[in-house]
Amino acid sequence: MALAPDTRRLIDRLGKGTPFPELGPAKARTEYRARIRELAGPGPAQVCPAEDTELAGVPVRVYRPLGVTGPTAPGVVFLHGGGWVIGDLDTHDLHARALAVAANAVVVSVGYRRAPEHPYPVPLDDCWAVTEHVAQHATTLGIDPAQLAVAGDSAGGNLAAAVALRARDAAVPLRAQLLVYPVTDPTMSTTSYTTYADDHYLTADAMRWFIDAYLPDLATRTLPLAAPLHAPDLAGLPPAIVVTAEFDPLRDEGAAYADRLRAAGVPTTEISVPTVHGFLEFVHEIPAALRARDNILREFAALIRADRG
């Protein structure tokens, strides 16, 4: 399978900049924000009011689609990607807006503290604090507590999977989980890390830099809440949608996590997209990325609202 020509042209263009590991965290954040602004085009594709506030002492952005009122809407805690280092509420604003509109849901995007200034478990603890707060105050937030879900992309997918594990163990009910090209095995030991180490947008060197920032202690890299693929038991987790990208160093660990979820009896849909990691950033440049994004969000919206009997 060959990478689509329009995607190849785009990643060749984006690859002309200085690699993030060479920039350091502060400059990499600035560069990533500029890249996202460029890719986003002249304006947002979805219109959805949002409010910046704090929940459980953590900065959040709450999206509430027009017409969504009262405590009957689904709720989604959204955890942004960016390698635990460079993403933020702004870089993933369009992701969260699209999710809110597609699911007709209240979306709480979490501005967790980032590595390397705040390594594991600080970002996860922030995400969990917000999730627990939303679960406990769902009605006040206009959310149906029976329709609360968690979602994340890349490093955010790692955090979302970990939050789902914590929620299960704390008896906090979650309706569903959406894990988009998630990090599930920070040991970087899968075949796809070798196959797609370079020249496919996300590189193995960049992932090594991100993982070193978030998990500087090697002993943490197989802990279940840092490496969900290493969790001994996945039974009892909420139904999942796991999205993988074909040309992605993270492809194999995402597919392996989907396999383990199914083996544990967790209803799991795996969606494989023939493109690169980070394709959600390309939806205004590449029509196939937009189609894939919209399909994923339709599936997730249906999963949140599905009748469990």
Convert the pLDDT of each residue in 151-181 to its tens digit. Answer: 999 999 999 999 999 999 999 999 999 999 9
Q: What phi, psi does 166 have (nearest 5°)? A: -65, -40
| pLDDT at position 308 | 66
**Mean pLDDT across 41-63:** 84
| pLDDT at position 283 | 95
3-state secondary structure of 141: coil
> What is the percentage of the chain residues whose pLDDT exceeds 90?
91
**Mean pLDDT across 27-45:** 84
Residue 257 and residue 249 in contact, taking contact as beta carbons nearer than 8 Å: no
How do residues 80-119 score in pLDDT, each as one tens digit? Answer: 999 999 999 999 999 999 999 999 999 999 999 999 999 9
pLDDT at 67 over 90: no
How do residues 208-221 score in pLDDT, each as one tens digit? Answer: 999 999 999 999 99
pLDDT at 135 over 90: yes
Q: Which residues contact 212 (CB under 8 A, 6 or more apart)?
A: 116
**Mean pLDDT across 242-265:** 98
Residue 102 and residue 241 in contact, taking contact as beta carbons nearer than 8 Å: no
| pLDDT at position 239 | 98
**Mean pLDDT across 259-288:** 97
| Residues labelled catalytic | 154, 248, 277
- 24-34 core/surface letters (b: 16 or more CB in 10 A; e: else): ebeebbebbbe
Write down the residue that tokens 């627990």 correspond to.
Answer: 132
pLDDT at 42 over 90: no
User: Can you spell out the DSSP letters for 198-264?
Assistant: SSSSS-HHHHHHHHHHH--SGGGGGSTTT-GGG-S--TTPPPEEEEEEEE-TTHHHHHHHHHHHHHT
Q: Which amino acid is at 170?
A: A
* Separation of first and last alpha carbons in the chain: 41
Residue 161 and residue 228 in contact, taking contact as beta carbons nearer than 8 Å: yes
- Let me know if 158 is exposed, middle or buried by CB neighbors in 10 A (0-12, 13-18, 19+): buried
**pTM, rounded to two decimals:** 0.97
